[in-house]
Chain A
Amino acid sequence: MGNFYNPYSQEVYYWGIVIGIFKMSIFILASILVIHAYFQFFKRKPPYEHASLNKAEKFCCLAYMVVLTVVFVRMSVELEWIKKLCEVVVFISIASAGGYVLINVFWLYIMQAWGMLNKFVEKPRNLKEIMTHLANYHETERNNQQKEHAWSNKDYPAAESQLHRRSAIIVDLPAK
């Protein structure tokens, strides 16, 4: 049910219903005018927030127009080679519109996979970096405190013997 309204922008939340009406009217009227009307409405109010989605819808609309025109031409012509040409044109327009959409889908999936891979690789690297910085921090802290307590000739109290809770520490990581 979410696909009915989720992909569309807030202003044009009803686009799912528009598509439904468009499908029904194209089926009932079988007219090229329906597609033109839909395309004009789409141009006036692009339903998607992302440009690539709007572009995909636009390509599909153009492909509908081309295919419907060519189908009518094919039905009215008797010459075999024109029929074959029409079939080629139909094939190309369907393949290009569908191809654009599918390429975008694959690209998104590739980007998602790349992001997951990066996370997988970066996580242990970051952890290692943080641990070395933390070790350096403790080393310098201990040296400083030993210097402070040196005058009293007493052993520096171990961290375990300090009963109070240790305060938070800040470790500055190098900027990436």
Chain B
Amino acid sequence: MTFATIIQEEEKEADHERDNRVEEKCGQLQQQKQMKQRQHQKDHRPRPKQQELKPGAFIVIFTTSNQIFSVICNLDVGTASTLINASNAVGNSYSQVVFSLQCLYLLVSPGDLFGALKFETFVYVFSPIVKIVIVAVLILVLEGIVRVINCLKRAKNKAQTRRMDRGERNNEAPIDDTKDTTLTAIVAKDSIPKKPRKKGLTDRFFMRLGAVAVAIFILEQPAIIGKLCQYLTCVQLDPYVPKYYVKSRNNIECYTDEYYFFLTSQWSFQHSSFGHSLSLLSSSLCSIPNGANSLIQKV
């Protein structure tokens, strides 16, 4: 090999390397260009289409306007309040049921107005717990029924397979090629992907019960808070008489021993300053504009 051929080969190798480098560079540039194009497309993506008009948006406007109208109308008692309260009667049928329950209570013990109010408050406050307990019992009963049905099905299938094994079916020969079937079963088992672990009875029970509890809480929480606030809200009917009455029931006097007893027995802080201050705070808050109670109920 002469010196000239060695130089030529070296030059060739250098050229080849340079070409490779240029190609690499070009590739990188092209990649960068594509990325830039993609980014540009992303940035200048056409805006999403206009949302479809849905009745939900109108219903939101309607409920909002109803709330505001009820607040405005409560400024002056009697102004179209019947028109606004009609929607309350339709929307919250629970209040009608409680009203009927109160009538029943008054039939049993007539004249006990404070007792009726206590009964109403208890019904409102403890009804979610009672409902959750009923649902828990129902879920357990349903689960039990499903288990019994599954057990029966399994027993039936077992009996059927046993019968088939013995060859007791109509003119059917007993299965001889047991080896083949087991082999196939082994192969099939390997090929089947592992199933996720099935949830147990307790998991399913708590999952369902939790869903029910959340739904009940969301539905009933406003009514409970409204009812408790109504109990705490007191108004002075006569400015010259220093006596306060429950705002929702003007025939029940506030800040009496019985009133405090019920208040403290509910919250377990007998004769604490917090209970008194809470009731005073709520009454002072709600007595500034007259529409407080309705807004609390709505909230």
Contacts and interface: CB of A to CB of B under 8 A. Distances in A.
B58 A26 contact: no
Contact of A50 (B53, B60, B75): B53
Given A56-B61, A60-B65, A30 B80 contact: no
A49 B51 contact: yes
Contacts of B288: 28
A56 B61 CA distance: 8
Contacts of B65: 60, 63-64, 97-98, 101
- For A94, A97, A102, the residue with the greatest tally of chain B CB atoms inside 10 Å of its CB is A94
Contacts of B56: 3, 6-7
Given A30-B75, A49-B51, A109-B55, A57 B61 contact: yes
B50 interface: yes
Interface in A121-137: none
Nearest to B51: A49
Contacts of B68: 22-23, 26, 60, 64
Contacts of B69: 63-64, 67, 94
A71 B289 contact: no
Interface in A47-76: 48-50, 52-53, 56-57, 60, 63-64, 67-68, 71-72, 74-75
Contacts, number: 103
A109 B289 CA distance: 38
B72 A101 contact: no
A26 B51 CA distance: 31
B180 to A, nearest CB: 32
B61 A53 contact: yes
Given A27-B291, A28-B289, A71 B71 contact: no
B45 interface: no
A64 B71 CA distance: 10
A87 B53 contact: no
B79 A71 contact: yes
A129 to B, nearest CB: 29
Interface string B45-76: 00000110111111111101111110111011
B247 to A, nearest CB: 16
Contacts of B79: 71, 74, 86-87, 90
Contacts of A63: 65, 69
B83 interface: yes
A108 B83 CA distance: 25
Interface string B209-244: 000000000000000000000000000000000000
B71 A26 contact: yes
B62 A30 contact: no
A63 B84 CA distance: 14
B67 A53 contact: no
A169 B213 CA distance: 56
A108 B53 contact: yes
Interface string B188-208: 000000000000000000000
B295 interface: yes
Contacts of B292: 27
A21 B58 CA distance: 20
Contacts of B57: 6-7, 48, 50, 53
Nearest to B66: A98
A104 interface: yes
A23 B70 CA distance: 11
Given A48-B57, A64-B68, A94-B83, A71 B76 contact: yes
A56 B68 CA distance: 15
Nearest to B84: A94
Contact of B80 (A26, A68, A94): A94
Contacts of A108: 53-55, 58
16 contacts: A6-B57, A7-B56, A26-B68, A27-B295, A49-B50, A53-B58, A60-B68, A71-B76, A74-B79, A87-B79, A91-B83, A94-B83, A101-B58, A102-B62, A108-B54, A109-B55
Interface of A: 3, 6-7, 19, 22-23, 26-28, 30, 48-50, 52-53, 56-57, 60, 63-64, 67-68, 71-72, 74-75, 86-87, 90-91, 94-95, 97-98, 101-102, 104-105, 108-109
Closest 3 CB pairs of A and B: A7-B57, A60-B65, A101-B62
Given A53-B57, A98-B66, 20 more contacts: A3-B60, A6-B56, A19-B64, A23-B71, A27-B292, A53-B53, A53-B58, A56-B61, A60-B61, A60-B65, A68-B75, A72-B75, A75-B75, A94-B69, A94-B83, A101-B62, A102-B58, A102-B62, A104-B55, A108-B53
